[in-house]
């Protein structure tokens, strides 16, 4: 009897496998729509057969994701994960990579479970897998959508060659609060730029064919509003208006749905009193019903269980009930679904149909990846040998690091340096392999592979005797024992380059800070060197905006390099010695002090705006002790050359709704270096039914110009781009006067105007 029961379902599965193999030959991007419908129908019938024969326990297994003990990315580890795989209780695994290990675990599932359903392997492939690119905030400063897409593409190629099917990226949380350590993982403060980058990353990870063995599932995280915790403290409460949520924090998530993202991850925080991991409004009403998302939703690490300390569930069982009813498909690490869904069905709190629906979404993506046709198709030693850290990948990482760096200051053209100068290279990050690749570095090697600034400089400086190096101080300590060595070599040099900043662990998850000065005694060392009167170039590595007022006053040049990745040292040397010209622009505002935070460019005017001139300044929206302006605004970044903007115009003065608004401006390279400019277009709606920002980024374009070269840049907008949440919360444009601004950053702008009728 037992045997009979087994043979029938197994036959159906085999039949399913066969149809899936057939699909593999046609599941390419040139599928005609009829072929697509046919292959979708095949998948649906496969899933019908499969879910029909699955037991409830087997379905719950598909809803469960567990970490291995290879890496710890959260508070708990379940040492028993291998047995749970064999028992079919865990259908998905994260923190496992390499062909050997993923094959070993896949075998446990395929050879021990009744239906041989393959595991799905997820991992935090955030800014590279083996070849580490600059941290995501750094990449965003390139404003280079093609390069960002390519970086994600390379990460996917390497990760999939090591058995991974799914990345927990992109993180698309808007962040306007530099205290929040996870600012480093996103694309900064702006909605438009953040949404464009979110789409580029999804395209890069997923490509246009999930079945291809070099593409992986992307995951938009952390849904939602995780970037706005009160006081910038990680995991803290989020309380914001519906208008703000929809205007600022949700659009990048919606953008990923439009780009076809396969999965979503819930956030740890609550949103207006309801934890995101049990939030039906976010997960079902908006995500599924409004946006039409069809993939699956995974929680963040144990965030179902965290509904208990949040105080909305009395125990893990009730937490599981809330999560499933809210629309969570997969439980990461907490085991609440594994432990309680069966009981909850028996108690009538949730239905088996809900479990089946969730399991089906997960199985569908396993099918699309081709895992049912061959569970080991991502476990190929040859690909693993050939595709990791290739020269092409390393070159792309170097290029991305050059594009990400932002030149914050360059007095008297201190930079670029001549290769014949005598250089004192000082600082805790000048020869540091461990920190240069930043946090969330997947399988990246921190010990041997990264290229330090010292190594980069050695390749550039003509006479090796002209390069002097000492560390000078540590990142975060009061040890001054190397200060004197630093002073001594600085005295001998023509120019001093100081490489300073944060350690990798000072930004990223659970790394909020209330003091954003250079940590430890780094500033003290800078002050000691400053006394020598030599030109000083400060190179910064950090994961968020820092407070740099003193440095801005006292350094001759400042280059913000973020954590630039495996090839960081070469890229920095390329920029410092003029083999490349900095072109990055800030995607997060740099405050003057922590008291200004949250600070961002697209502020509203208020009823009492601060004006620099005018008789009455006291009763204005301002501070008594610091100006309203930031140290470095959004969109800011210098070049070794200069650019002039002229002939900014619209083709008409009045436009009808839906009519194309043609905008043009001429940009000229007025300096002596070839350079790339990021031309930024902003807009202001002058009078509307609700208060709106003084400017909002609407378009941008990167343009490379030789000295004296001019280019006409054109942009188009329609009334759709002018839409906002009106007084009654409908999303549309209102007729009236508009201003447009264009320029090199969010403050240095020229303007024109038009009317929408």
Residues of this chain that interact with ligand BGC (CB under 6 A) are 73-74, 124, 168, 221, 300-301, 509
Which CB sits closer to ligand BGC, 74 or 707?
74
- Rounded CA-CA distance 518/502 in Å is 7
Which CB sits closer to ligand BGC, 73 or 98?
73
Known catalytic residue at 258: no
Query: Which CB contacts under 8 angstroms, 24+ apart, belong to 731-735?
Result: 731/246, 733/657, 734/685, 734/688, 734/689, 735/657
Contact indicator for 670, 639 with CB cutoff of 8 Å: no
Query: Which CB contacts under 8 angstroms, 24+ apart, belong to 240-248?
Result: 240/271, 240/272, 242/729, 243/690, 243/725, 243/729, 245/271, 246/725, 246/729, 246/731, 247/191, 247/724, 247/725, 248/174, 248/191
Q: How far is the CB of 50 from ligand BGC (least distance, A)?
A: 28
Pick the closest to residue 534 from 554, 552, 548, 515 (CA basis): 554
Which CB sits closer to ligand BGC, 437 or 475?
437
Contacts for 135 with CB less than 8 Å, ≥ 6 apart? 127, 184, 185, 438, 439, 440, 507, 543, 562, 563, 565
Q: How far is the CB of 234 from ligand BGC (least distance, A)?
A: 9
Pick the closest to residue 93 from 123, 56, 126 (CA basis): 123
Which CB sits closer to ligand BGC, 444 or 633?
444
Pick the closest to residue 119 from 384, 365, 298 (CA basis): 365
Cα-Cα end-to-end distance for the chain:
76
Which CB sits closer to ligand BGC, 74 or 736?
74
Q: Which residue is nearest to ligand BGC (CB)?
A: 73
Q: Are strands 749-756 and 736-743 parallel, antiparallel or unpaired?
A: antiparallel
Q: How far is the CB of 267 from ligand BGC (least distance, A)?
A: 8
Q: How far is the CB of 301 from ligand BGC (least distance, A)?
A: 4
Quickly list H helices, 207-347. Answer: 242-244, 251-258, 280, 307-310, 316-326, 336-346
Which CB sits closer to ligand BGC, 124 or 384?
124
Q: How far is the CB of 165 from ligand BGC (least distance, A)?
A: 15
- Of the residues 124, 177, 300, 331, only one is catalytic, namely 300
Q: How far is the CB of 252 from ligand BGC (least distance, A)?
A: 15
Q: How far is the CB of 415 from ligand BGC (least distance, A)?
A: 36
Q: Are strands 696-705 and 731-732 parallel, antiparallel or unpaired?
A: unpaired
Which CB sits closer to ligand BGC, 293 or 301?
301
Burial (CB count within 10 angstroms: exposed 0-12, middle 13-18, buried 19+), residue 608: exposed
- Rounded CA-CA distance 480/523 in Å is 12
Q: How far is the CB of 659 from ligand BGC (least distance, A)?
A: 43
Phi first, then psi: give them for residue 655, nearest 5 degrees: -125, 150
- Rounded CA-CA distance 181/549 in Å is 20
- Give the dihedral sign, CA 171/173/175/180: negative
Which CB sits closer to ligand BGC, 266 or 431?
266
Q: How far is the CB of 265 from ligand BGC (least distance, A)?
A: 6
Phi first, then psi: give them for residue 66, nearest 5 degrees: -130, 150
Cross-sheet strand order for the sheet of 296-298: 219-223, 263-266, 296-298
Which CB sits closer to ligand BGC, 221 or 368?
221
For residue 595, the tally of other CB atoms under 10 A from its CB is 11
Catalytic positions: 300
């Amino acid at each position: 009897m037992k045997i009979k029961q087994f043979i029938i379902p197994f036959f159906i599965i085999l039949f399913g496998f066969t149809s899936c193999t057939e699909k593999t030959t046609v599941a390419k991007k040139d599928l005609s729509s009829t072929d697509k419908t046919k292959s979708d129908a095949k998948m649906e019938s496969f899933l019908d057969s499969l879910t029909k024969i699955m037991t409830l326990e087997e379905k719950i297994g598909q809803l469960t994701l567990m970490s291995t003990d290879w890496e710890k990315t959260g508070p708990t580890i379940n040492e028993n994960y291998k047995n749970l795989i064999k028992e079919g209780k865990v259908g998905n695994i994260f923190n496992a990579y390499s062909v050997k290990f993923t094959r070993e675990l896949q075998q446990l599932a395929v050879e021990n479970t009744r239906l041989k359903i393959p595991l799905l392997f997820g991992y935090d492939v955030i800014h590279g897998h083996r070849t580490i690119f600059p941290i995501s905030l750094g990449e965003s400063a390139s404003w280079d959508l093609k390069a960002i897409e390519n970086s994600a593409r390379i990460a996917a190629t390497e990760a999939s060659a090591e058995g991974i099917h799914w990345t927990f990226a992109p993180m698309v949380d808007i962040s306007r609060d530099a205290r929040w350590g996870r600012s480093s993982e996103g694309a900064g403060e702006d909605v438009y730029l953040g949404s464009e980058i979110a789409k580029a990353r999804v395209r890069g990870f997923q490509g246009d064919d999930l079945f291809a063995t070099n593409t992986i599932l992307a995951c938009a995280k952390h849904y939602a509003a995780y970037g706005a915790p009160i006081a910038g403290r990680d995991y803290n409460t989020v309380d914001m208006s519906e208008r703000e949520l929809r205007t600022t924090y949700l659009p990048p998530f919606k953008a990923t749905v439009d780009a076809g993202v396969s999965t979503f991850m819930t956030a740890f925080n609550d949103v207006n009193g309801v934890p995101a991991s049990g939030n039906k409004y976010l997960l079902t009403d908006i995500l599924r019903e409004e946006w039409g998302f069809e993939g699956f939703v995974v929680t963040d690490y144990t965030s179902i269980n965290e509904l208990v300390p949040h105080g909305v569930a009395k125990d893990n069982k009730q937490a599981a009930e809330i999560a499933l009813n809210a629309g969570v498909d997969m439980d990461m690490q907490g085991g609440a679904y594994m432990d309680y869904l069966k009981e909850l069905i028996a108690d009538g709190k949730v239905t088996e149909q809900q479990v089946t629906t969730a399991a089906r979404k997960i199985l569908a993506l396993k099918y699309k990846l081709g895992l049912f046709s061959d569970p080991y198709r991502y476990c190929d030693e040859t690909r693993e040998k050939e595709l990791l850290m290739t020269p092409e990948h390393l070159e792309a990482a170097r290029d991305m690091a050059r594009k990400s760096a932002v030149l914050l200051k360059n007095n008297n053209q201190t930079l670029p340096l001549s290769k014949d100068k005598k250089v004192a290279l000082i600082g805790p990050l000048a020869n540091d392999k461990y920190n240069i690749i930043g946090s969330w570095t997947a399988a990246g090697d921190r010990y041997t592979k990264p290229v330090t600034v010292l190594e980069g400089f050695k390749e550039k400086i003509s006479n090796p005797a002209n390069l002097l190096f000492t560390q000078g101080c540590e990142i975060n300590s009061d040890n001054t024992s190397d200060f004197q060595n630093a002073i001594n070599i600085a005295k001998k040099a023509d120019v001093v380059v100081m490489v300073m900043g944060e350690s990798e662990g000072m930004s990223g998850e659970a790394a909020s800070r209330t003091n954003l000065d250079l940590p430890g005694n780094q500033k003290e060392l800078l002050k000691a060197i400053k006394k020598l009167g030599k030109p000083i170039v400060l190179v910064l590595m950090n994961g968020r905006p820092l407070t740099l007022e003193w440095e801005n006053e006292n350094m001759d040049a400042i280059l913000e390099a973020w954590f630039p990745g495996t090839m960081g040292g070469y890229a920095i040397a390329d920029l410092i010695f003029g083999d490349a010209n900095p072109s990055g622009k800030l995607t997060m505002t740099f405050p003057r002090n922590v008291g200004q935070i949250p600070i961002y460019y697209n502020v509203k005017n208020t009823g009492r705006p601060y004006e620099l001139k005018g008789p009455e300044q006291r009763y204005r929206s301002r501070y008594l002790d610091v100006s309203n302006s930031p140290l470095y605004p959004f969109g800011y970044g210098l070049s070794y050359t200069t650019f002039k903007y002229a002939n900014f115009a619209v083709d008409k003065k009045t436009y009808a709704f839906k009519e194309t608004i043609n905008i043009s401006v001429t940009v000229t390279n007025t300096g002596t270096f070839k350079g790339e400019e990021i031309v930024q277009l902003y807009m202001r709606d002058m009078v509307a039914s609700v208060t709106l920002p003084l400017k909002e980024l609407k378009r941008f374009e990167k343009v490379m110009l030789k000295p004296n070269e001019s280019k006409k840049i054109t942009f188009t907008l329609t009334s759709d781009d002018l839409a906002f949440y009106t007084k009654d919360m409908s999303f549309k444009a209102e007729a009236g006067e508009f201003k447009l601004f264009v320029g090199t950053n969010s403050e240095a702008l020229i303007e024109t105007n038009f009317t929408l009728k």
